[in-house]
Amino acid sequence: FTDRKGKTPRRPGQRKQCNIEKDPVGVYCRIRPLGTEDEECCIEMISSSTIQLHAPDGLKANRNGEYKETQYSFKKVFGVNTTQIELFEDVGKLLIEDLIQCKNGLLFTYGVTGSGKTYTMTGSPGEGGLLPRSLDMLFNSIGPFQTKRFVFKPDDKNGMEIQSQVDALLERQKRDSQQSVSKIPSSRQKADPEIADMISSDDACKVENVDEDSCYSVFVSYIEIYNNYIYDLLEDAPFDPIRPKPPQSKILREDQNHNMYVAGCTEIEVKSTEEAFEVFWKGQKKRRIANTQLNRESSRSHSVFTLKLVQAPLDADGDHILQDKNQVNVSQLCLVDLAGSERTNRTRAEGSRLREAGNINQSLMTLRTCMEVLRENQMCGTNKMVPYRDSKVTHLFKNYFDGEGKVRMVVCVNPKADDYEETIQVMRFAEMTQEVEVPRPVDRPICGVAAGRRHRNQAFRDELSPIPPCELVDPADDQMLPRLIEVLQRRHHTRQMIIEEFNKTANTVNSMLQQFDSQLSSKGNFLHDQQSKLSEKDKVIVSQKTEIERLEKKSKTLEYKIDILQKTTDMYEQDKRTLQHELETRDHRLHRELSDRRRIEQHMQGMVTDTRLKWEKECERRVNAKQLEMQNKLWVKDEKLKQLKAIVTESSPAQRPERPTRERDGNIAQKRSASPSPLPTPYPPASTSSSTSSSAYPSVASCISKWEQRVPVDSRSQARQPGTPQYRTQTPAPCQSTSSMGRRKGQRWAPDTEAPTTPLVYGLNLEAGTRVSVFHPIHRRSHSAGGEKWVDHKPSSNLDVDTVMQPIIPNAIKVSTPNEKALSKCHKYVLRHQELASDGEIETKLIKGNVFKTRGGGQAVQFTDIETLRQECPTAPSRKRRSGSAERPAHVKNKVIVKTMLILSCHINV
């Protein structure tokens, strides 16, 4: 036979059952007593199901250093005074009852190293733990119903086989012949004194509802998981003193029912509590323990002691086991003592001890991860894969969490202050485990043979007296035959009594059957009457059914007509809604077109009005310009005529008329409207003595010399000639008289300075007959200029008008968007705002304010003033008088403005 299974067979997908009953994992807590009374305690038992943890002195429970208390609830909490029997009554007794009822169970202890896990599981002399008490209860319950040895035999595939009586007898004889070298302790041998008084007779308990028609047999196995390897503690390996071999690790396999088991593990059949506990003690001596800083005998591995109960029903006679392998039920209870989690900084482990601690903590962490994934899948409805295979512990017991039995956990805690941080982690794991639900195991079917077989067989045997030995040694023996005859007669009498009892019972049964027959006949007659009534009722029901069918057909016809009418109504309603929507759409379109037409008409009227005003202004401007041009030409001609008249008058002094007085000249000048009068002289008139010495009319030479003396000494005016680039300015300034310009610039008259070759009179070139515009840019300081620092807020949407006069703010921070950093550095704020004026020109407003700090640490602006910058056409009438307007006639001013084209003036209004 070759084993061709190279890998664990894949488990087929199970169908999801809708109504699966689930039970939460039962978690209990046991508190270990303190070593000394002076030792500080960090655990307080609040009630029978709640404990409270408080941080010891000198330990900060959280980052703030405040006192922090935490409460945890369990199914039941066992205090320091709890006895082993009380613990077993609440935890282990129900598992033994389920074991006898063919249900699996898992019980494991969990906690920090030195918290009392091994004591809870094993106990001490006189105070047996969960394991010895479970064995005692099991054997007390099934003791009288156990089979002989070797009737059941393991098949090395996690199953059991039934051997015939002959094979079982041969196995027993072979065992008896090897009693001298037997390795399996017998129940008749004297027990180990260390474990002899584990359980007293007063604490013995048993299960009452045991099936007496079945035969039972108990098999035990004991393994340990060390460094994530599985070792058999009951294996008797040959010992070689020369070259000792280390024990071989076992592997996990999956049986045909998809249950995990340890392949090749030793399973020993035991018949009593003492024998089973001796087997356990034998394996316990091989378990790996070590001395650490926290525990003198610290378990370095996880131990698993398995109780496997095999039961099979008796045959119909109640004498032998039913030879049917399908009727054999195997249930098991795993008692697991997990190694304690520990921190290396406390145990100061090194070398192999450090590696052992790392593997222990890793396996416990895997167990915690599996519990977290199970809880998440159950709470959130997810289907995440549970990492059972990451550790041998979780892989071995994954069937229990999938619904193969009940799961119980005893959390052992040490209340001393040094274990406070580890105890918090244990409590969190226990609290999370309680939220995991395990499917409830399903009851297995019971054999269909009548009950009470064993009792009847035993009663029959008790009634038949045994036949004495029938050996006749002496022919003269007259006692044997009478005794034999007496026994046979008694047996015959007993048989007769049994026959009579059987006949009585048969008669009773026959009478009962006859009574039942009569009752059945009466019942039959009653049923016949009821059937006739039912037939009548059936006819009525048939007639009613036909009427109902007719009404249903009529109802369906009416419903069909209603559906047609409803569809027609819906169609009309849809058409109505469509037409209404179309009508509303057309109304909206018509209103929109009317509004568009009105808007277009208004726009066209505005355009016509703007165009008419524009052409009116343009015509007026052209007329004024032409009028000024003609006036200038007329004025030039008039001046030439005056000069010519002066020359002619000087050439003939005898015929010169008397010069009129100054008042008369003024009146004549006012009467002349064709040519404007010249500007008045800024100097006082000449003395009377000079006028008396000369003639009444001045000569041409004297007039020319006077005009030349009026020109100021200015290097820039001397250097500039008509036609040079300085005269071709893009934005000319208003032209003023030479006298006024001299006074503004602070210049003086120099009579000794040479006059230019071409004399300039009021900005006119007399030789060329044209007028030259004089450009003198005048800078005016804005009201915003000062010693303070300004925030010059000029939005990016503003336009540059490129005019000559622009506000200049020195020592300012220019920004396009105000920010807190700029406001914090300045004391003043100005905003340049542009908008269209009523005449269509761009108007710039300077909105000024003071910057001050607020209580919240920010900046605020309080506006105090507004300056307006506006572009105006010089030909338009103005309310303000310009400088020199009082000294110059209106027609001269208009002449100057015509030659300078368009002047952009900046008026600052506060």
Residues belonging to the binding site for ATP are: 111-118
Residue 108 is inside which H or E element, if any? strand 104-111
Residue entry with tokens 């193969």: 404
3-class state of residue 813 by DSSP: strand
User: Which among 422, 417, 285, 300 is positioned nearest to 349, based on CA atoms?
Assistant: 300
Q: Binding site: which residues?
A: 111-118
For β-strands 123-124 and 127-128, DSSP reports them as antiparallel
Number of H helices, E strands in the chain: 20, 30
CA distance 900 to 733: 7
Query: With contact defined as beta carbons under 8 Å apart, do 423 and 51 qualify?
Result: no
CA distance 358 to 352: 10
Q: How far is CA 662 from CA 229, 668, 793, in A?
A: 140, 10, 59
Q: Is the backbone of residue 381 left (phi > 0), alpha (psi -120 to 50) or beta?
A: left
3-class state of residue 460 by DSSP: helix
Per DSSP, helices labelled H in 652-728 are 662-671, 688-693, 700-709, 715-719
CA distance 45 to 51: 4
User: Which among 334, 338, 240 is positioned nearest to 287, based on CA atoms?
Assistant: 338
Query: With contact defined as beta carbons under 8 Å apart, do 430 and 70 qualify?
Result: no
Query: Which residues, 6+ apart, have CB-to-CB distance to 550 below 8 Å?
Result: none
User: Which among 714, 690, 688, 718 is positioned nearest to 702, based on CA atoms?
Assistant: 690
Structure tokens at 119: 């004591």
Query: Which residues, 6+ apart, have CB-to-CB distance to 668 below 8 Å?
Result: 660
Amino acid at 825: K
Query: With contact defined as beta carbons under 8 Å apart, do 228 and 311 qualify?
Result: no
Compute the half-sphere exposure of residue 45: CA atoms within 13 Å on the CB side of its CA.
18
User: Which among 67, 33, 27, 65 is positioned nearest to 49, based on CA atoms?
Assistant: 27
Q: How remote is the C-alpha of 379 from its chain's centroid?
A: 17
CA 153-158-163 angle, to 5 degrees, is: 20
Query: With contact defined as beta carbons under 8 Å apart, do 121 and 134 qualify?
Result: no
Amino acid at 848: K
CA distance 117 to 94: 20
Strands (E), 375-520: 405-413, 437-439
Query: Which residues, 6+ apart, have CB-to-CB distance to 138 below 8 Å?
Result: 96, 99, 100, 218, 273, 307, 309
3-class state of residue 124 by DSSP: strand
User: Which among 489, 404, 481 is positioned nearest to 439, based on CA atoms?
Assistant: 404
Query: Which residues, 6+ apart, have CB-to-CB distance to 762 below 8 Å?
Result: 678, 679, 737, 738, 892, 896
Query: Which residues, 6+ apart, have CB-to-CB distance to 203 below 8 Å?
Result: 85, 128, 133
CA distance 495 to 487: 12
- List the beta bridge partners of residue 869: 844
